[in-house]
A and B are shown apart, each in its own frame.
Chain A
């Protein structure tokens, strides 16, 4: 059952990720991104991170992708990007080479480091969640509000700064000429 969930979520994630990269239309790319984010949320549930799965769906698939779609519509950049022509000669080949090399390095590191990780801990640990279904949220809250309470307060400052900065950046200045897209 766990294998079935993993395979289905992996297919969702990879199809969505490849869709983000190869779809010409930005709206289609954003919708592919939703597919990937839902797959990640499914894997979070499979890994007993229920709170993060809910936050992933609400914040990412809900807020961030809607923000993307809103900006696409607002700017009128929803025209098809020409993917046939290469802006720089050989860019695709270099990018493919970088991708293969990076994947090879990451896989080598994971396979090499697998014993080091497996040596510690006690197998597929399920004692994060325990028997109680609320335990995940309770433990996460314990960690955030005790050990990392300063970082938590700093994120609130970060969010305020981000909101104020975005309003300043995106507002229309007086007398500014607006180029119709």
Chain B
């Protein structure tokens, strides 16, 4: 390895995480299928996980990875409950997009 080899620093990881988070945000804003909205939320969660791991490694602190562990668990629970709600809504009406779900009345 010569001295000219570029090694990706923590800043690179954080910038990648920022780009991923922004793509997820734009996806939530423009898409109308509730399932795709959930996928975009997963993108944002993964962006945050990536920045946690990058900073945890940078600061030599294992707690960054511990937080990512808990975020994974909570994300799994969130997806399960969200998909359950979507299934129960879609059963009783025909709408496919969130525009058809503009009112809370069942």
Residues of chain A contacted by B39 (CB below 8 angstroms): 20, 29-30, 33, 68
Task: Tell me if B8 and A67 are in contact (CB < 8 A).
Answer: no
Residues on A lying within 8 angstroms of B by beta carbon are 2-3, 6, 10, 13-14, 17-18, 20-21, 26, 29-30, 33, 36-37, 40, 43-44, 47-49, 51-52, 55-56, 59-60, 63-64, 67-68, 71-72, 74-75, 77, 79, 81, 87, 91-92, 94-96, 98-99, 102-103, 106-107, 110-111, 114, 117-118, 120-122, 124-125, 127-128, 136, 139-140, 142-144, 147-148, 151, 155, 158-159, 161-163, 165-167, 169-170, 172, 176-179, 181
* A74 smallest CB distance to B (angstroms): 7
Q: How far is the CA of A55 from the CA of B33 in the complex (A)?
A: 28
User: Which of A2, A37, A67 is B46 in contact with, Cβ under 8 Å?
Assistant: A37
User: Which of B8, B24, B65 is A17 in contact with, Cβ under 8 Å?
Assistant: B24
User: Which of B13, B43, B87, B88 is A20 in contact with, Cβ under 8 Å?
Assistant: B43
**Chain A interface SS verdict (over half):** helix
Indicate whether A3 sits within 8 Å of B18 (C-beta atoms), given known contacts A30-B39, A59-B76, A140-B62.
no
Residues of chain B contacted by A37 (CB below 8 angstroms): 46
Indicate whether A117 sits within 8 Å of B10 (C-beta atoms), given known contacts A170-B87, A179-B91.
yes
Task: Tell me if A121 and B58 are in contact (CB < 8 A).
Answer: yes
B59 within 8 A of A: yes
Residues of chain A contacted by B91 (CB below 8 angstroms): 172, 176, 178-179
Residues of chain B contacted by A170 (CB below 8 angstroms): 84, 87-88
